[in-house]
């Protein structure tokens, strides 16, 4: 859908200059023990893009919105985003999400709005949907964009 794709593009295009303006040497500072640094938050957003890319594509070929979760903290840790180059992380995140926006705008409207009775957005959604309520792929994509904005705001606040 054009609006969802544009919302994602706008979020990325607004964030990139802000992210690149951050002092690279400060992006690895953790605000508290056990809390993610800006690099790790951005790494989490890369992992989210990767996982949701597959979900958005697969949802077009099935009647439900049931997808495997992933162990978010472990993904961030084993990929060691903490030691990644800030500029590389920002650019990879941006390009991946711009590709996602392109993929999203290819989804037919009837697929985006199809009510799915079976889903696990009560488990994997950012803003969850009760298990006994139907959900749409459009909602799930919008939820992804909200999740992305939430974490970008965390990075801005650090």
Kind and range of the H or E element at 8? helix 2-21
Residues 6+ apart with CB under 8 A from 80: none
CA–CA dist 85, 91 (Å, integer): 10
Looking at residue 65, the DSSP 8-state letter turns out to be B
Confidence (pLDDT) at 39:
98
Domains of the chain, residue spans:
2-157
86, 27 contact by CB (below 8 A): yes
Q: Which of the residues in the chain have pLDDT under 50?
A: none
Q: What is the pTM of this model?
A: 0.96
Task: Give which of 62, 19, 21 is closest to 41, Cα–Cα.
Answer: 19
Q: Hunting for tokens 């990929």 — which residue is that?
A: 79
pLDDT per position as a tens digit, 90-116:
999 999 999 999 999 999 999 999 999
Angle formed at CA 50 by CA 80 and CA 13, multiple of 5 degrees: 95
- What tokens does 97 get? 């999400």
Tokens standing for 61? 């070929």
Q: What is the CATH number of domain 2-157?
A: 1.20.120.450
- Of 94, 108, 102, 51, residue with least CA distance to 75: 51
Look up residue 137 and give its two tokens: 């792929």
pLDDT for the residue 2? 76
**Which of 37, 52, 7 has the alpha carbon at shortest distance from 151?**
37
Per-residue model confidence (pLDDT) at position 1: 55
Q: What is the pLDDT of residue 88?
A: 98
């Amino acid at each position: 859908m054009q609006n969802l794709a544009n919302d994602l593009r706008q979020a990325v295009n607004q964030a990139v200059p802000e992210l690149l303006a951050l002092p690279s040497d400060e992006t690895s500072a953790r605000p508290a023990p056990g809390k993610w640094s800006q690099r790790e938050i951005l790494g989490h957003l890369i992992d989210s893009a990767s996982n949701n890319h597959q979900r958005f594509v697969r949802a077009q070929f099935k009647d439900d919105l049931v997808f495997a979760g992933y162990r978010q903290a472990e993904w961030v840790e084993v990929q060691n985003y903490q030691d990644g180059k800030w500029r590389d992380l920002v650019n990879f995140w941006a390009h991946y999400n711009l590709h996602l926006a392109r993929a999203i705008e290819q989804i037919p409207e009837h697929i985006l709005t199809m009510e799915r009775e079976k889903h696990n957005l009560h488990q994997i959604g950012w803003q969850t949907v009760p298990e006994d309520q139907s959900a749409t792929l459009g909602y799930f994509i919008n939820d992804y964009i909200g999740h992305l904005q939430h974490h970008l705001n965390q990075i801005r606040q650090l």
